[in-house]
C-alpha cells in the first residue's frame, strides 16, 4: 500500500509518555537528542496549527511528569494533555482514543518513550483501526538498542512507516518558501540545526 503524503492539513501529532521518569530508562539513544527532537516535533505541530496531543501515564508514580522543556515549549497542549491510568496501549485508553478521533485526521505522527512499550502498541493498534501511522524514531527511545530495534521491526511489519524528525518536518513543509515551510524551517533551525556540532 502506498503511504500518503502527510501534511499539516491531514495529520495529527501524538507525543506519548515523554516523562521525566521514563526518559531516564532510555539507553538506546542520546537523551539530549531525543529531547531536542521531541521539542522540535511539538513546536512544528504548534507552528502550523496541527492537532497536537500530549499524553502521560501515572504521573504520580515513577514515570513522573512530562519533561519540563516540553511543558514550556507547548503550554496549551501540556495543559490539555491526556492523563492516563496504567493502560499500556494509549489507543485503548478511552480519553486518548477520543482525543485522537476528535482530530478527524487519518494520518498520525507518533513519538514516545519508550519505543518498545509506549509506542509499539498504539502505533500497531492505530494501523489496525485504519489510520496511516508514521513513528518518529529519533523522538523515541528504549532501554536497550535491541529492544528499540525489535519494536521498530515489529511496527514496520505491521504497516507503520518509520521516519526521523528532520525527514518528517521536511515532508510537512514540502516547500520551504511557503508560509508553513517558513515556520517549519524556523523551528528546524532553532531546535535542531543550530544545536548540532
Can you tell me the distance from the alpha carbon of 177 to that of 179, in angstroms, rounded to the nearest whole number? 7
Q: Phi and psi dihedrals of 89, rounded to 5?
A: -85, 100
Sign of CA dihedral 116, 118, 121, 127: negative
The vertex-111 CA angle with 32 and 105, nearest 5°, equals 145
Residues 125 and 101: beta-carbon distance below 8 Å? no
| Helix/strand/coil for 160 | coil
Alpha-carbon dihedral 86, 144, 38, 91, rounded to 10 degrees: -30
Residues 52/13, Cβ–Cβ less than 8 Å: yes
Based on the residue annotation, tell me whether 118 is a catalytic residue of this protein. Answer: yes
Grid cell listed for 89: 496501549
Which position among 73, 118, 127, 155 bears the catalytic label? 118
- Residues serving a catalytic function are 118
Amino acid at each position: 500500500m502506498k503511504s500518503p503524503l502527510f501534511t499539516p492539513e491531514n495529520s495529527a501529532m501524538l507525543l506519548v509518555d515523554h516523562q521525566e521518569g521514563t526518559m531516564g530508562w532510555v539507553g538506546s539513544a542520546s537523551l539530549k537528542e531525543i529531547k531536542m527532537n521531541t521539542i522540535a516535533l511539538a513546536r512544528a505541530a504548534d507552528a502550523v496549527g496541527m492537532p497536537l496531543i500530549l499524553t502521560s501515564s501515572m504521573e504520580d508514580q515513577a514515570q513522573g511528569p512530562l519533561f519540563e522543556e516540553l511543558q514550556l515549549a507547548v503550554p496549551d497542549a501540556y495543559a490539555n494533555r491526556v492523563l492516563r491510568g496504567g493502560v499500556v496501549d494509549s489507543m485503548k485508553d478511552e480519553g486518548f482514543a477520543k482525543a485522537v478521533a476528535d482530530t478527524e485526521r487519518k494520518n498520525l505522527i507518533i513519538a514516545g518513550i519508550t519505543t518498545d512499550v509506549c509506542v509499539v502498541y498504539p502505533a500497531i493498534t492505530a494501523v489496525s483501526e485504519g489510520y496511516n501511522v508514521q513513528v518518529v524514531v529519533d523522538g523515541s527511545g528504549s532501554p536497550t538498542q535491541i529492544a528499540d530495534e525489535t519494536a521498530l521491526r515489529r511496527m514496520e511489519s505491521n504497516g507503520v512507516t518509520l521516519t526521523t524528525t528532520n525527514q518528517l518536518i521536511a515532508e510537512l513543509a514540502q516547500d520551504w518558501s511557503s508560509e508553513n515551510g517558513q515556520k517549519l524551517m524556523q523551528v528546524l533551525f532553532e531546535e535542531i540545526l543550530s544545536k548540532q556540532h
